[in-house]
Structure 1
Amino acid sequence: MPSVSTSVFVSRPDTEVFDFLADARNLALWSSGVTSVDADAVVPGHEAAYSYRYPGRHRQHLLVCDHFEPCRRIVFRGQRMWGPLGTQVPVYGFELIPHGDGTLVRLSVTSCLSAALLLLAPVVAMAWRRDLPADARKFCDLLGGPVPATLHGPPAPASGAGGGDPGAPAAAPLRTSPAPGGFDYAH
């Protein structure tokens, strides 16, 4: 199950950033994993459902809000997509941390793969490592923030207070989640 994430700093309050992210229709403005989202107004919240189009797919799929914690965390889970090699379920996660005069946002994408697609997990991870920084730049451009920090893997169990300039979050090293068999293909 490949998972890739990056962190960005946005010079806006967490309430504004969360409101922007909570409306899944905005994903199509900056995320390479979402081609379009129907314009129907949906009240944001847990289990809010949107009709969206995943790149390369001709039919609509369902995108459901899987986790909704105002001003802290939101997760959207895509509908299972079938293909000749197996299935894929995309999961888009966003964690917000008030930071100085703005918000530190952790953008993550996890692809839940099955069958023969599991063999392609390193390729899927590589594609997201390529695309997520560009998505983060688009996100920052839309909300008026600086260039994103470096990519990094799954969240650490607990994060302590870091030193340094409060306006410039520290970058983390490039990592991805380990493969199901325990071998980390990225390194």
Structure 2
Amino acid sequence: MPCVSTNVFVRRTPTEVFDFLADARNLALWSSGVSSVEPGYVEPGVDAVYRYRFPGRRRSHRLVCADFEPGRRIAFRGQRMWGPLGTQVPFYGFDLLPHADGTMVRLSVTSSLSAALVLLAPLVAMAWRRDLPADGLKFRDLLGEGRAAAESLAAATAGGAETAAPAPAEEADVPAATPMRASSAPTGFDYAH
């Protein structure tokens, strides 16, 4: 059962970060383990059920909120996926810790494997060790880690070939003024929708 984690610092309050993570639709914006989540609103909380697509899969699977501690921890468990070599159940965990002027977030992925896939556990772990740090940086940039990061993310989103010029050193320490849209959700923000 490979388990991989990484830490990332975000210049947002734990409440803001938690509200972003509590809406599983936002996972598709930054996580390499989620290619899409159905757009309908689901009330965040334990046992909230979403429909998502795991990369490389044609049909959607269930994604269930398995742990929900506002401002501290949230986790999602994917549905068991069958393949020729066995089954896989992904588990995405997020632990939040207030830190200085933001939040330290531990992103973790655990893959429960069965049958012959157990023999491939080192390869699964290697893939997550490669992808999870990049996912963490994308997550940090999406939540506005700095002006240069926000500008380059906007340029990448626009599909332009040009890259944003790096901000001067004194501006790089200033959190970007990223738009945050209030949602109809009682817990706060709805970034993606």
Equivalents in 2 of 1:44, 1:69: separation in Å?
11
Partner of 2:186 in structure 1?
none
TM-score, normalised on structure 1?
Answer: 0.77
Partner of 1:5 in structure 2?
5
Residues 1:94 and 2:94 aligned together: yes
Partner of 1:40 in structure 2?
40
Unaligned runs of 5+ in 2: 150-193
Unaligned runs of 5+ in 1: 148-187
Identify the structure with bigger relative contact order (alpha carbons < 8 Å, sequence gap 6+).
1
Partner of 2:138 in structure 1?
138
Query: Could you tell me which amino acid in structure 2 is paired with residue 145 of structure 1?
Result: E
Equivalents in 1 of 2:105, 2:18: separation in Å?
9
Equivalents in 2 of 1:22, 1:100: separation in Å?
22
SS of match in other structure, 1:116: helix
Partner of 1:163 in structure 2?
none
Partner of 1:123 in structure 2?
123
Equivalents in 1 of 2:140, 2:89: separation in Å?
26
Partner of 1:80 in structure 2?
80
Partner of 1:181 in structure 2?
none
Query: Could you tell me which amino acid in structure 2 is paired with residue 132 of structure 1?
Result: L
Deviations 1:92-111 (A, max 9, x none): 00000001110000000000
Equivalents in 2 of 1:145, 1:97: separation in Å?
16
Identity %: 75
Q: What is the deviation of 1:144?
A: 1.7
More helix by share: 2
RMSD: 1.3
Partner of 1:64 in structure 2?
64
Query: Could you tell me which amino acid in structure 1 is paired with residue 42 of structure 2?
Result: V
Q: What is the deviation of 1:145?
A: 2.4
Deviations 1:138-174 (A, max 9, x none): 1001012279xxxxxxxxxxxxxxxxxxxxxxxxxxx
Equivalents in 1 of 2:127, 2:86: separation in Å?
18
TM-score, normalised on structure 2?
Answer: 0.75
Deviates more, 1:11-20 or 1:138-147: 138-147
What is the count of residue pairs matched by the alignment? 148
SS of match in other structure, 1:109: strand
SS of match in other structure, 1:43: coil
Equivalents in 2 of 1:63, 1:109: separation in Å?
14
> For the pair shown, which has the larger CA radius of gyration, 1 or 2?
2
SS of match in other structure, 2:93: strand
Equivalents in 2 of 1:111, 1:135: separation in Å?
16
Residues 1:103 and 2:103 aligned together: yes
Deviations 1:111-140 (A, max 9, x none): 000010000000000000000011011100
Deviation >2 Å, runs of 4+: none
Equivalents in 2 of 1:144, 1:93: separation in Å?
21
